[in-house]
Amino acid sequence: MTGHTPSPKTSTSTDTGAGADTRTGTLAIFDDKAAATHHLADWLLQEALAKTDGPFSLALSGGSTPQLLYSMMASEPYASRFPWARMQFFLGDDRFLAHDHEDSNSGMLNRLLFSHVPVPAENVHLIPTAGTAEEAARAYEAELKTFYGADTLKPGKPLFDVNLLGLGGDGHTASLFPGQPVLKERTAWVSTCVPPVAPYTRLTLTYPAIDASRHVVFLVEGASKRETVAKVRAQDPSCPASAITSMGDLTWVLDRAAAPADA
């Protein structure tokens, strides 16, 4: 593994080949969820402190898996050490719901992280909820473009320093759900998606926006995800996560239970 990606302290790591394989990525496997999450928090802190020539931009995932990470970041020893004023937070996806709805990813982040740390309000870019879902997608894309300083993504100029992703049992990541038109989107940075089975209309970063990240990190835990992790790493086309790539590197941070048997 390169020194720039989250590497495990306590367990094994498996490189997929020379150089950063930005499709299948590098595995970082930890004994349990707490160890994996601690290491990711340590790595994020190190990366945030190291980025001194501009803002440190993160796209955060929703769902249940990263909640321990967000609580950790809001607690000591992390809360007083992150350079909050230099950090810019975006969401990888959200349900098109009021932010105080219990199923809103923004609401979860407000509760667990943003309400506990001194991050300036203007550095927190939640997905809008005004108007239609399509209008909200356009508004969020405009906000991203203002932050990026250009209307088109440029090779070698990442939109995000870190893009934290999760993985659903059906192979979705962010709100890129199997079989949905959003998977074909190559121009827009933000799109709507109506999942075939999961609840709520979603807004999600698209492949081009996610791929424009310096580091893509999948955080996946639990035995129920093991088979899906293996499918994605084998580039199974039925899993939208298989098509994620990165401008820099891609790492899988896993607990032992989620790790493929041969890892």
Ligand X SMILES: O=C1O[C@H](COP(=O)(O)O)[C@@H](O)[C@H](O)[C@H]1O
Binding footprint of ligand X on the chain (CB under 6 A): 61-65, 92-93, 105, 166, 168, 174-175, 198
According to DSSP H, which parts of the chain are helical? 33-50, 67-73, 105-112, 133-148, 207-211, 226-233
Smallest gap from residue 205 Cβ to ligand X (A): 10
Smallest gap from residue 166 Cβ to ligand X (A): 2
Q: Is 43 exposed, middle or buried (0-12, 13-18, 19+ CB in 10 A)?
A: buried
Smallest gap from residue 75 Cβ to ligand X (A): 20
Nearer to ligand X, 2 or 238 (CB): 238
Tell me, what DSSP letter sits at residue 249? E
Of 222, 223, 210, the closest CA to residue 250 belongs to 210
Nearer to ligand X, 83 or 178 (CB): 178
Nearer to ligand X, 2 or 64 (CB): 64
Rama region for 261: left / alpha / beta (φ>0; ψ in -120 to 50; rest): alpha
Smallest gap from residue 105 Cβ to ligand X (A): 6
For residues 111 and 101, the answer to whether their CB atoms sit within 8 Å is no
Nearer to ligand X, 62 or 128 (CB): 62
**Rounded distance between C-alpha atoms, residue 211 and residue 85, angstroms:** 25
Smallest gap from residue 96 Cβ to ligand X (A): 11
Nearer to ligand X, 158 or 168 (CB): 168
